[in-house]
Amino acid sequence: MIGSAERGLRRQGLKYALALRLAVVGVASLGSFVESAPRPVVAISVVVLLNVWNVLYATTMVRGPDRARYWLVPVDVAVTCALAVTQLWTASAEGGAAGTNWVLAAVGITIVSYSWQIGPAGLAAATVVVVPALLAGSALARPGDWLSSVPLQLWLVMEVVLSFAIYRFVRRAARAADRQVERGELVRRQAAVAASRRVDEREYLAALHDTASATLLMVGAGIAGGRQQWLADQAARDLEVIGGPSIVSSREADLIPMLRDVGRLTPLRVHLDLPETLRMPATTAVLLCHGTREALTNVVRHAGVGEATVTARPDGDLVSVEVVDHGVGFDPQRLPRHRYGLTRSLVERMDRAGGQAEVHSRPGHGTRVRLSCPRRPTELAGDDTEVFGSVFLTGLRWAVVVMNLVILTCLDLPKLIANLDIYPQVWPQFLAWGGFVAVTIGVALRIHRGGDLGRWRWALIALVFALSAVATAAIPPEHRLGTVHWSEGDAGWTLVLLLLDVRVPVFVGVLVAQYVMTFAHAALGGDSALPVTSLVSATVIVLGYQFAVGLIAAVLRRLASSSARAARAEEQVRTEEAVAEQLHRDRVERYAGLADTTVPLLRGLASGTLDPGAEDTRRRCAVEAAKMRRLLAEDATAPDPLLHELRACIELAERNGVSVSFAEAGVRPVIPREVRRVLTEPAIAALATARGRVRLTVAGADGTVTVSVIADCPPQAVPVPNTDQIATSTMLDGDRLWIQATWQGGRG
Amino acid sequence: MTTVVVVDDHPAVVAGVRAWCMLADPPIEVLDSGANVGVAWLTPGDQAQVVILDLQLDVTGPAYGDLKRLVDAGRQVVVYSMRADRETVLTCLDIGAFTYLTKSEGQDHLVAAVEAAATNTPYTPPVLSGAFGTDDRPHRPRLSPRESEVLLEWFHCESKDMVARRLNLTVRRVNACLERVRVKYANVGREAPTKAALVARAIQDGLVLADEL
């Protein structure tokens, strides 16, 4: 699945690539007037047609249907080739083969921006077609020395490759960011589902307790002497509750019972100071609970005391939870930075929910942890923007590092070496070149360690300016701004790398300042190597490309926040779906559990086909009520669920005047819930219908569990389940019925 | 007449035990009673044939030390406790208690257990039977499958008639099984004069053969 960041990147990347192309081609085509084209009329018509086509191309690309690309791109390639061939009439030959012209700049940006619009195969094909066309155009315009323009064409190919590399790097970063956010989402979703399930189950059981269980208990105890309307109505209402849809909204939960659970599961005496109820978004409630547990765990581990106080209260639009202990405390200032302790994990966790965590502590004065979260679901709390932003930036930085090294070694170094005899002194050139390489590698190491440039940024920028000035000064004035002057535009790339995460005006300002400095330097020295016209085209090509990278950085920053918003919105939808689906499944399962027993009884009572006064009905109701009692006692957190559930039923029986002698022996394996239900069924039925004394025993040995009950009760009232896992045997001794249910599934 | 001394810190328990002893046929004489084990060592308690000992006399945990000293002095001790966990039950037997009764078994078994202790006849009430039947410690005595079966059924149902019916045995054989298990337990673990006496008596009566142990 394509995540929000990658999707956003594809969409935004396309838009910005097209906008950049429009702008650069527009500026470059202005060059046709400066350059004094050989055939001005033709040149002007070509310029107008080209820009019209560009606008048409861009709008169709963005707004048109996807399949439009299949014809749009080939047509665009054809137009670009045609433009390349028109150099004869539209571009001045003044700059010579080594110089550039506006056509070259326009064609260059067109194919460079393809990498953000079409796949690698299309990009390769377009390049293979356009570059020879450009060569052909040069050959037509300057039949004498067209071969000397070959290096320039090759460099264009290189630019295409680099642009493609940037796109790939950034795209990979987008994918990585998506995966990272997805993992976070998965965890949050599972937590939300689990929380909602617990809440729903608790509410369902509470409802059961108040409805079906109460009705059946009443009938079982013989309160209704015969058929009565109110009883029938009650049974009908109970049926609705049992079969009804989920009671709990998947998004809301009550924080208080969840906090109680947290307090109970800590090996501390936890004093709770909580309101009756505190409803809030389920995910936030889970988060607060996790935070509270974390804080309590820290009390256990570090505070050296056995008790803590947990306070929760609504606080305006916030809900705050405080965990206070009077233990040894610590000095937050002196905590080692590398320790991923209480403070950091809590703060980060609360940040996610748009909340806050504060830790106050002093040695000898205990610790107070205060967590607060908004009570209402927040739209977005800055959340994943950081993740997206930093991953994007890292991707782009790597791309620029690679690109800059390629430019320095494959383009500038050959220029430098080829012109060694022209430089009066060679060392300033190598110093500047080596300096740029060193700065680039330094930045690369910094990214690798995951750090920020910090205050080094401005020192390094000053260094680049100084190196650029040194290199320019050491070039004979007549060669400045020409091929010999390799550092002229390319010093800018090192600056781009250093400026990637600053605001756009600063980026543009610093970059332009570098060019102005170099041009002024050259102008002061007198005649330079290139005519002004050629200089404009050359600068447009390089500077446009550098601006483009800065623009990408800015786009990615914006994209990060919109991606985070989109991711959060999608997450909310998916979480709600997951919660709803799971709750529905739980409901169906629970209803199935009651369908064969409770439901027919309630139906019979509601329709009047069962007489609540009849002995048999009363007995069946008593048994069902006891079974429901056991269901209500089902609690995953009870240390020994079997005994916990049996005790609930013993209590019920004792309230009905039955004297129960209970004993247990041995150790029991963990018994699955379904097995537990069947295993306890005879005992519960016997407890519900017995009179006088009941002996109830549980024995476990060798992975076998036996639940045995001896009671005075009618044999027909007690089920004798025999499944493939559970064997039940009965024996009647006078009035005493002895039933043993045995499960051997725990044998390992 | 059988004589006992009762060590229990709960007056209601002591009163109950006194009542059961008085109503027993023949009656059992309670020589003395008190909250402290001292009553069993001082006159007239030191003359009692059987000591009824509550394990939890204070918060420091089961009074194994007191039990040990009484056993080593050759006293017949019936442990009478709230605790029903296997660990405690088997530890007391290992130390050399004559038998172990939980408070809920008192009404049905205390008098019979005291009589058995006075005559040194093995006596296994249901909770003790359950502890034997589910014992999985490495140094436990070897029991036959039939013996394990009888132990567990007796634990579940409290009626030897029903156990016999269920397992198609005679009540005599059920009793014999329980007694043999008790003797096997007396023969393992820590040595104590009361345990040795129980084993000797069982061999004498032909309940077990010497080479069976």
Q: pLDDT digit of tens for each residue in chain B (213 aa)? A: 899 999 998 889 999 999 999 999 889 999 999 988 999 999 899 999 999 999 876 667 788 999 999 999 999 999 999 888 888 999 999 999 999 999 888 888 999 999 999 998 899 999 999 999 999 888 889 899 999 999 999 999 878 999 999 999 999 999 999 999 999 998 887 888 888 888 888 888 777 777 766
A325: tokens are 């202990």
* pLDDT on residue A382: 43
Is the backbone of residue A196 left (phi > 0), alpha (psi -120 to 50) or beta? alpha
pLDDT tens figures, A446-460:
888 877 777 888 999
- Predicted-complex ipTM score: 0.89
The answer to whether residue A709 sits within a structural domain is yes
- What 3-state DSSP class applies to A368? strand
Comparing C-alpha atoms, which of A612, A599, A619, A692 is closest to residue A212? Answer: A599
A18-22, A172-176, A573-577, A614-618, range with the lowest pLDDT: A573-577
Look up the domain containing A741 and give its range.
634-748
Q: How confident is the model at residue A251 (pLDDT cuts 50, 70, 90)?
A: low
Average pLDDT over every residue of A362-383: 73
Q: Give me the phi and psi of A111, to 5 degrees please.
A: -80, -30
A265 with A367, same domain: the answer is yes
Nearest CB partner across the interface for A665, out of B130, B158, B166: B130
Q: Do A667 and B134 touch (CB under 8 A)?
A: yes
* pLDDT on residue A528: 65
The answer to whether residue A727 sits within a structural domain is yes
Q: Give me the phi and psi of A351, to 5 degrees please.
A: -50, -40
Average pLDDT over every residue of A588-598: 78
Long-range contacts of A514-520 (CB under 8 A, 24+ apart): A514/A464, A514/A465, A514/A468, A515/A489, A515/A539, A515/A543, A517/A465, A517/A468, A517/A469, A518/A468, A518/A472, A518/A481, A518/A487, A518/A488, A518/A491, A519/A481
- What 3-state DSSP class applies to A281? strand
A270 with A140, same domain: the answer is no
Question: For residue B85, what are the contacts with CB-CB under 8 A and spacing of at least 6?
Answer: none
The letter for the amino acid at A74 is P
- What 3-state DSSP class applies to A693? strand
Nearest CB partner across the interface for B84, out of A663, A695, A733: A663
The answer to whether residue A627 sits within a structural domain is no
- Best of B102, B129, B153, B156 to disrupt the A interface by mutation (most A CBs within 10 Å)? B156
Q: Do A665 and B165 touch (CB under 8 A)?
A: no
Q: Do B104 and A700 touch (CB under 8 A)?
A: no
Comparing C-alpha atoms, which of A196, A348, A187 is closest to residue A280? Answer: A196
A339 with A417, same domain: the answer is no
The answer to whether residue A379 sits within a structural domain is no
pLDDT tens figures, A634-686:
765 667 888 888 888 888 888 778 889 899 998 888 888 888 888 988 898 88
Chain B contact set for A708 (CB, 8 A)? 156-157
A56 with A115, same domain: the answer is yes
Q: Give me the phi and psi of A100, to 5 degrees please.
A: -125, 170
- What 3-state DSSP class applies to A707? strand
A313-322, A384-393, A707-716, range with the lowest pLDDT: A384-393
A335 with A397, same domain: the answer is no
pLDDT tens figures, A173-185:
888 878 877 777 7
* Cα radius of gyration rounded to whole Å, chain B: 16
* pLDDT on residue A344: 58
CA of B171, closest CA in chain A: separation in Å? Answer: 15
- Other CB atoms within a 10 A radius of the CB of residue A339 amount to 9
A305 with A174, same domain: the answer is no
Q: Do A663 and B165 touch (CB under 8 A)?
A: no
For chain A, percent of residues with pLDDT exceeding 90: 12
* pLDDT on residue A379: 45
Using a CB–CB cut-off of 8 Å, the residues of B that contact A are 84, 86, 102, 104, 126-127, 130-131, 133-134, 136, 152, 155-159, 161-162, 165-166
Q: Which CATH superfamily is domain B3-212 in?
A: Response regulator (3.40.50.2300)
Residue A208 has pLDDT above 90, yes or no: no
* pLDDT on residue A348: 66
Closest chain A residue to the Cα of B158, Cα to Cα: A695
**Domain boundary, last residue among A570, A585, A603:** A570
A299 with A439, same domain: the answer is no
Residue A2 has pLDDT above 80, yes or no: no
**Domain boundary, last residue among A356, A374, A392:** A374
Q: Do A706 and B152 touch (CB under 8 A)?
A: yes
- Compute the distance between CA of residue B3 and CA of residue A571 in angstroms, rounded to an integer: 79
A746 with A639, same domain: the answer is yes
In total, how many domains does chain A have?
3
Q: Do B133 and A666 touch (CB under 8 A)?
A: yes
Chain A contact set for B131 (CB, 8 A)? 665
**Domain boundary, last residue among A374, A399, A421:** A374
Q: What is the DSSP string of A457-498?
A: HHHHHHHHHHHHHHHHHTS-GGGTTSTT-THHHHHHHHHHHH
What ranges do the domains of chain B cover?
A: 3-212
Q: How confident is the model at residue A339 (pLDDT cuts 50, 70, 90)?
A: very low
* pLDDT on residue A345: 60
**Is the distance from CB of B39 to CB of B51 less than 8 angstroms?**
no
CA of A664, closest CA in chain B: separation in Å? Answer: 8
CATH number of the domain where residue A672 is located:
3.30.565.10
Residue A245 has pLDDT above 70, yes or no: no
* pLDDT on residue A625: 83
* pLDDT on residue A16: 82
Q: How confident is the model at residue A99 (pLDDT cuts 50, 70, 90)?
A: low
A388 with A354, same domain: the answer is no
How many alpha carbons fall within 13 Å on the CB side of residue A103?
A: 31
* pLDDT on residue A340: 41
- Compute the distance between CA of residue A331 and CA of residue B110 in angstroms, rounded to an integer: 62
